[in-house]
Amino acid sequence: MEYRRLGKSGLKVSALSFGSWVTFSYQVGVDDAVDCLKTAYDAGVNFFDNAEAYAKGKSELIMGEAIKKLGWPRDSYSVSSKVMFGAVPDPGPTQRGLSRKHVTEACHQALQRLQLDHLDLYFCHRPDPETPIEETVRAMHDLIQQGKVLYWGTSEWSAAEIQEAYDIARRHHLTPPTMEQPQYNMFIRERVEKEYAPLYDPEGVGLGTTIWSPLRSGVLTGKYNDGIPEGSRMTVQGYEWLKDQVFGSNGPQMIATVRELTKVAEGLGTSMTLLALAWCLKNPNVSTVILGASRAEQLRENLKALEVVDQLTDDVMAEIDGILGNRP
């Protein structure tokens, strides 16, 4: 396993990490979670991603129970949660958002579900236009001062919003954000490669990134080239929006592109899945690539992506860019 610094912080995270979005609760129970977490941990993975909104808290309950069963030393891994959308169906006005009240109480609730005494990483799961950024920054700083959170960051915030949070923190001697969790893959790259570019400078924000959906919700595995297989995440109840998003007007073009990219993968003697993951790992501004899997065998295969990175020479990357046609 390769380990990378989380931005300019001193924390080192595994280049490949494991997240529970969609799978835990919907496709994975405690026993399967134990298998997946053990597979990842035994391969050197040391960061496990979660959120209050995933399965409305059930995802954190499953992960917490699985980690308890595994009995790992607490100083050997990092766990995250995210706050914004709430962990109950139809959350009330104080049960969602980034107010001091919800940020604080959601942290306590996540710790209870995960059966931990602190969160290593705590993300603002989206911007909250109804809460001043300074209020959120102060709430995060206080949780860090109390030892309940070690690093805080954002997810899908604009570069301007992240910079504002950083500037407020520096101006008031508070803890600034350390990391951002954006979507990043062969089809979605503008924000990570262009918009955030000024934020990676260690003389400034020194932003780390924990990227999600490296396979564009499975499209980049090639498994949707001939339709939607039964049991895939596109068939999970409550995630119909994902199917609409991926198979909307751009769907046929994406599938055609994946077919062309598959030829590149075959030429390298690898799979489309590993090519897509290795492509994300190739970006030096990516701290860790979050993998999602419902089976240990699937996860074990995806962890081989690190072996493919060295095959992505400048010529191969240029060929991929030529097929994608979307370089920022």
Residue 78: its H or E element: strand 78-83
> 68: exposed, middle or buried (C-beta count within 10 Å: 0-12, 13-18, 19+)?
middle
Q: How far is CA 322 from CA 256, 261, 269, 316, in A?
A: 14, 10, 20, 10
Of 26, 54, 122, 151, which is the active-site residue? 54
What is the bridge-based pairing of β-strands 149-154 and 119-124? parallel
Tokens of 31: 């026993």
Nearest to 196 by CA among 169, 167, 157: 157
HSE of 85, CA atoms in CB hemisphere, 13 A: 13
With vertex at residue 15, the alpha carbon angle to CA 11 and CA 17, rounded to the nearest 5 degrees, is 90
Asked if 238 contacts 23 with a C-beta cutoff of 8 angstroms, the reply is: no
Catalytic residue list contains 122: no
Half-sphere exposure (Cβ direction) of 155: Cα atoms closer than 13 Å: 22
Of 182, 245, 185, 181, nearest to 215 by C-alpha is: 185
Q: Which pairs with CB-CB distance under 8 Å and at least 24 residues apart come from 320-326? A: 320/186, 320/261, 320/264, 320/279, 323/257, 323/260, 323/261, 323/264, 324/186, 324/187, 324/257, 324/261, 326/187, 326/189
Report DSSP letters for 113-146, one per residue. HHT-S-EEEEEE-S--TTS-HHHHHHHHHHHHHT
Measured between alpha carbons, how far is 304 from 290 in angstroms, rounded to an integer?
14
Single out the residue of 191, 187, 120, 113 nearest to residue 149, CA to CA. 120
- The set of catalytic residues is 54
